[in-house]
Amino acid sequence: MEFPFDVDALFPERITVLDQHLRPPARRPGTTTPARVDLQQQIMTIIDELGKASAKAQNLSAPITSASRMQSNRHVVYILKDSSARPAGKGAIIGFIKVGYKKLFVLDDREAHNEVEPLCILDFYIHESVQRHGHGRELFQYMLQKERVEPHQLAIDRPSQKLLKFLNKHYSLETTVPQVNNFVIFEGFFAHQHPPARKLPPKRAEGDIKPYSSSDREFLKVAVEPPWPLNRAPRRATPPAHPPPRSSSLGNSPERGPLRPFVPEQELLRSLRLCPPHPTARLLLAADPGGSPAQRRRTSSLPRSEESRY
């Protein structure tokens, strides 16, 4: 693929690695340096055109690789250039491969769910005019060495038939593990997972779920015991032989008697009627400013002149 600007000057190396920042690589000494914003715009143009060409080759409705998607995701793109192609002295682009780590739920050979985060092949394209010349293997092998992974450790997103034949021919990846998503993994994928894949707990059958058990229903029938002191049992008339020592701390709770079952309502009302008045009530009656009834009668029998003196 050719562009109206100098690709050979933009990408000094044969294979250039770009992350989400799309920063221009270091330039060779002695070359002119245009404005940095122009270099980044050129990189964005190359990525957009490569994404369109890859989508057309795979019969996709829309490109899955673009400069805007690169900037919003932590993906890495490897771009392969052709320095010998100089029809206008500007070089050309042969192809690219885009990779990135993704958290996936995949099935193993026993159909158990596993949560993994492997390196995924997200897009791979070599220009039609230079296919079957070893460029695809050169680019793929460079990516494996740079990412330090083995081919069977990769997960491929919606691979085309050409890509599957490519992996079978060069890396002997033939037997796949069936999945329910769009990713394809090969036999040996789970052999070197670090850390090991986390298995999800098995789903509980719907028939085993009950609102509550029979023991729970029996528990709901038991009457709730009233709070203290209504649940206090009557004390014995004779005091204990050895009473417990009195605590010197203030605010201690009074001694509670042993608990007994729920008191019926009629018995509770009968005990309340027979209960003697509290000593505090007697003190309040004694401190009444009106005095006793006899005192009030003596005061009312005095003449009004005598009453005024009091």
Site of tokens 């980044």? 40
Secondary-structure class of domain 7-186 per CATH: alpha beta
Closest CA to 99 of 120, 72, 129: 120
CA 50 – CA 160 distance, rounded (Å): 17
Q: Are 67 and 48 in contact (CB under 8 A)?
A: yes
Q: Which tens digit of pLDDT belongs to each residue from 157-200?
A: 999 999 999 999 999 999 999 898 899 999 989 886 654 444 44
Dig out the tokens for 277 from the structure: 């008045």
Q: Which tens digit of pLDDT belongs to each residue from 195-251?
A: 444 444 555 555 555 554 444 455 445 555 565 655 555 555 555 555 555 544 444
User: What residue numbers does the annotated binding site cover?
Assistant: 124-137, 160-169
Rg (CA), the chain: 45
User: What residue numbers does the annotated binding site for acetyl-CoA cover?
Assistant: 124-137, 160-169
Dig out the tokens for 17 from the structure: 């690695």
Cβ neighbour number for residue 112 with a 10 Å cutoff: 13
| Cα-to-chain-centroid distance, residue 125 | 35
Distances (CA, A) of 103 to 106, 114, 120, 140, 157: 10, 10, 10, 22, 13
How many C-alpha atoms does 50 have within 13 Å on its Cβ side?
26
How many C-alpha atoms does 29 have within 13 Å on its Cβ side?
0
Phi, psi of 119 (to 5 degrees): -80, 130
Tell me how far apart the terminal alpha carbons of the chain are, to the nearest angstrom. 122
Closest CA to 295 of 279, 305, 310, 280: 310
List the single range of 45-54, 181-190, 258-267 with lowest mean pLDDT.
258-267
CA 72 – CA 21 distance, rounded (Å): 9
pLDDT recorded at residue 220: 47
Rounded to an integer, the average pLDDT of 129-151 is: 95
| Cα-to-chain-centroid distance, residue 273 | 63
Closest CA to 154 of 125, 179, 188, 182: 188
